[in-house]
Amino acid sequence: METRIIWISFLVLLGVIGGFYFLFPRISRSGLLFGVYVGEEVSKSEAARRITRSWYLGMALWLAAAVALALIMGLQYQSVPGSSAALFLLPLGFLEEYLRAYWRARKLARGRAAPLAAAVILTEEPKPLFLPYMAMGFGLVGGLYSIGYAWSHYAQLPDLVPIHFGLLGQPDSWRPRSFSTVMMLPTMCLVMGVGIAGMAYLIGQAKRAIRYGDQGVSFEAQQRFRRIMANFLAIVSLLLTGMLTILSQSSIEVGLRRAQALSPAMMMLTLILVIFALAGSIYIAVRYGQGGSRLEKSAADRPLTDGLADNRLWVLGMFYVNRDDPSLFVERRFGLGYTINFGNPEAVALLGGFIGLIILIAIIAKFAS
């Protein structure tokens, strides 16, 4: 029963990820084509449409292959790892199709003059965002509380502690008690909660790419989108901290034999978090488009300015490298969300630090086993 639920979840996840990939060209900013700035007119040309059509066809084939793999592995061999391989097949296909479309789009951008750089001088200070700060504080409090709770109950825990739970919250895997095993979840709570909230704060300060000529609409669109993304991530951080805090405490309660299964509140929060994250991402993508492109209205045909529009600053249309630019976060050129400025040592250190912490937790978990 449980294997079947996991297997169906894989299929749903495949559909959601595949659906997102299909959505990307539709929400793309006018002027951008698969990570290349080709200009507003060229992006609507027949040549551009041909590239997009062939991308759709390629992605449809990859999605069909991934679903087929998941079905075969699930139905024929009842293999969960086999089915999960399908989840890796899809990003692989995405990368292959993206790079193919990217090189074709590059040809359309040949001979384009360097774009202008533009900024708006605000005569009114924008209101500071409250939610990212709140989420950071909550992440810190939740994380420290979880660590403190695990620490204070460590001595009372039996020799075997639960490390994995089934869909209904019952423990299904145990390990000998060790400090790293017990502290892993609370540490993850602290790192993830504060990390995602911090990212939300930085996205609120991300680089703005406006359109030259009709500053008002384009600028407002940028501001609005940044706030929406920052608040969305802050809420995800709040839910994640809540969920991981309850999970940390609940798993210790199960370890102490005070409870048979994880708290229903944790299961409920997990469900809310997953639904909110998925539905929220889809809603933002469809409603606002890439970087708020669907809010640009009349400004959409004006040329995009420096940053997003300068092809020389983007490696493969994915990595923004500008040593002069002090921006930490910049809007992605293809898809939804933000990426870092790889030319800024502070941004690279920030990303490296976050990835390093997660790797450290994974290594501790590995040694703990």
Residues near other proteins, by CB under 8 A: 113-114, 116-123, 125, 207-208, 210, 212, 215, 305-307, 310, 313, 322, 324-327
Query: How far is it, in rounded angstroms, from Cα 206 to Cα 203?
Result: 5
Rg (CA), the chain: 23
Would you say 46 or 324 has its CB closer to other proteins? 324
| Residues in contact with 183: Cβ distance below 8 Å, sequence separation at least 6, in sequence order | 147, 150, 151
Two tokens, residue 280: 């929220």
Contact in structure between 143 and 179 (CB atoms under 8 Å): no
Q: For the CB of residue 127, give the shortest distance to other proteins in the complex, in Å.
A: 14
Q: Identify the CA nearest to 281 among candidates 8, 11, 17, 62.
A: 17
CB atoms within 10 A of CB 306: 19
Q: In this complex, which beta carbon is closest to other proteins, that of residue 122 or of residue 155?
A: 122
329 φψ region: left (φ > 0), alpha (ψ -120 to 50), beta (else)? beta
The two three-digit tokens of residue 346, written as one number: 């502070």
Distance CA 369, CA 366 (A): 5
Q: Which is nearer to other proteins, 197 or 206 (CB)?
A: 206
Tokens of residue 298, six digits: 């009349």
Nearer to other proteins, 212 or 354 (CB): 212
Stated length of the chain:
369
* β-bridge partners, 175: 161
Minimum distance between the CB of residue 205 and other proteins, rounded to whole angstroms?
A: 8
Of all helices (H) and strands (E), which one includes residue 36?
Answer: strand 36-37
CB of 125 to other proteins, least distance (A): 6
- What minimum distance in Å lies between the beta carbon of 306 and other proteins? 5
319, 333 in Cβ contact below 8 A? no
Q: How far is the CB of 299 from other proteins (least distance, A)?
A: 12
Q: How far is the CB of 121 from other proteins (least distance, A)?
A: 6
Name the residue nearer to other proteins (CB basis): 249 or 322: 322
CB of 90 vs other proteins, minimal distance in Å: 34
Number of other residues whose CB lies within 10 A of the CB of residue 156: 9
Q: Nearer to other proteins by C-beta: 248 or 305?
A: 305
How far apart are the C-alpha atoms of 260 and 117, rounded to whole Å?
61
Nearer to other proteins, 83 or 218 (CB): 218
Q: How many other CB atoms sit within 10 Å of the CB of residue 279?
A: 10
- As measured in angstroms, the least distance from the Cβ of 122 to other proteins is 6
Q: Is 215 or 281 the residue whose CB approaches other proteins more closely? A: 215
